Amino acid sequence: MRLALLRPAFASILGALALVACGDDDAADPIDGGAVDARVPLDAYVPPDAHVAPDAYVEPDAHVEPDASVPRSEVLHDADGANARYRGIGRARVPSSCTATLLDVGGDDDAPAYALTAGHCTLWWENDESFEGRVLDEPGEVVFRFFTDTVDAQHAVAVEVAAFSSMRGTDLAVLELDTTVGALRTAGIEGIALATALPATGAAITNVGAPLATGDDPEEHLRLGRCTLGERVSLVEFEWLWPDAVANDCPEIRTGSSGSPLLDASGAIFAVINTTGEERPHAICHLGRPCELEASGPATYDGVSYAIPVAGLSACFVDGAIDLAATGCPLASGAVIDSARETARYQRPSETNTTIRVTLTASEGFTHYRAKAGPAQSTDCRDEAGYGAALAIDAAPTFEAPLPTADGLTVVCVRGGPAADAIQPATHAVAWVTASDSTPPALPLPVRHDPPEADSVRFWVDVENPTYAGYDRKSGPAATTDCDDPEGYQFVNVRFGQFTVTSEGGPTRVCVVASDWADNVSEPMEWVFFE
């Protein structure tokens, strides 16, 4: 059964993006040295029973108090100077509200000051390029000395330029502050050093961040969480593939925590928070539901947070000033090949849908490319092995890879250069991720209705992308309306999230089906009213 599907535009998706979860994460399952329960494989699927008729309207659950046994972070105070070492960690608005850290990268008092945060905080979410020396879309600031008990001592510094910002294979931004190291030192604010190596898995670590307030927790100043470092993993979240991330169980990671530092035993920064796993079972590898690429395939872990390593980043600074071309700088800077995935991010394999296509465009001196493709869990774009021979873009402007018939993730890696023998190193590859998805949305659907009126009943539908992305419905006399018949279904405008059915003058049957982003259609749910 094929029905109409409303797939939101990519711009609309980005407008709602929050890589670090909103809301209370008190129910998070902490990791212990990287071992986490509640794995949800991408291909897990339980065939639904057809024609599930849910109960009538159910009152929502009452407010549930947080579990006191769950680890919490502590709000930091500095009136007595006890936390002076954290004065260089503050609230960034660039323009997203995140956490940023003043860096200690050497140089004299006249050296420029830099702050480190997550790349997605600049709202430049492209997965196929990095930005250097780019002016922010609107003037920003970082507020240091961001303690709850010294509000009058807060110190705001303007930010207009990101020296580096990228979500291509990483999630980091280095902000140029409109001040000097010496001026901040005079204000009692010192930078924090970058670590030279990551701690061992299982090590005790610290997170200091400035998450936003929630309904249950109005405090939004600096807070400290004590946690454990998990394993290094490859991570996928929607369009982004991060081949080197570290898991952690730091408490109360939520909106505003993005960019907050993970500190080792010496107090040096070795990673910055970039995302966390929400309990959203229908959004595997999607926004707010990152998945780890394990040998058996993608897997998700509720409540686990992830950070991007920055150990060794000090090599990108010379005499206190950023130099992305400096020897040993791990940031992959410079232009990369102009590419675009022609096919959709989510695809349903069929006899007529068998390939993934990535198009290449000759620009900025790039005339040739090399490419490879394979399962995301076993294909590393940074590895030179597996790339095909160099091809001229003009002669072969589209790279095609087979679309697997089994559910899972495939990555296409492309890298370019000005000649066949001058292709950029694999560190500059662009990764395009595609999900093969032949699994229909499962029943019961996230659909509910109000208590019926005398001759009408109002329904509500919840969008849970990418699984429950669109809905169609039909209604008619109960005796003659067949929910299995695709004829007669009408599109439900999910922007409003509701529709009303009126009585047919007797028993009335209502049918609803859901569609996902791969155009799989669910079995129908049905109700009978006005009997």
- Domain ranges across the chain: 74-322, 338-436, 441-531
Q: Read off the pLDDT band of 69 (50, 70, 90).
A: low
What are 221's two structure tokens? 């100043």
Q: What is the value of pTM for the model shown?
A: 0.85
Lowest mean pLDDT among 68-72, 192-196, 248-252: 68-72
Cα-based distances in Å from 461 to 58, 449, 465, 498, 513: 14, 9, 12, 6, 11
pLDDT tens digit sequence for 360-391: 999 999 999 999 999 999 999 999 999 999 99
CATH architecture group of domain 441-531: Sandwich (2.60)
Q: What is the DSSP pairing of strand 192-193 with strand 204-209?
A: unpaired
pLDDT tens digit sequence for 452-495: 999 999 999 999 999 999 999 999 999 999 999 999 999 999 99
DSSP assigned state of 428: G
What φ, ψ does residue 11 adopt, rounded to 5°?
A: -60, -35
Q: Read off the pLDDT band of 15 (50, 70, 90).
A: very low
Answer CATH for 74-322 from 3.40.50.2000, 2.40.10.120, 2.40.37.10, 1.25.40.90: 2.40.10.120
Angstrom distance (rounded) from CA 390 to CA 10: 31
Q: Domain 338-436 falls in which CATH fold?
A: Immunoglobulin-like (2.60.40)
Per-residue model confidence (pLDDT) at position 26: 34
Per-residue model confidence (pLDDT) at position 122: 98
User: Who has greater pLDDT, 71 or 214?
Assistant: 214
Looking up tokens 């420029």, which residue turns up?
A: 112
Percent helix, percent strand, percent coil in the chain, to nearest 5: 5, 40, 55
pLDDT tens digit sequence for 339-355: 999 999 999 999 999 99
Q: What is the DSSP pairing of strand 321-322 with strand 317-318?
A: antiparallel
Looking up tokens 């872990």, which residue turns up?
A: 301
Mean residue pLDDT across the chain? 88
Tell me whether the CATH fold assigned to 338-436 matches the one assigned to 441-531. yes
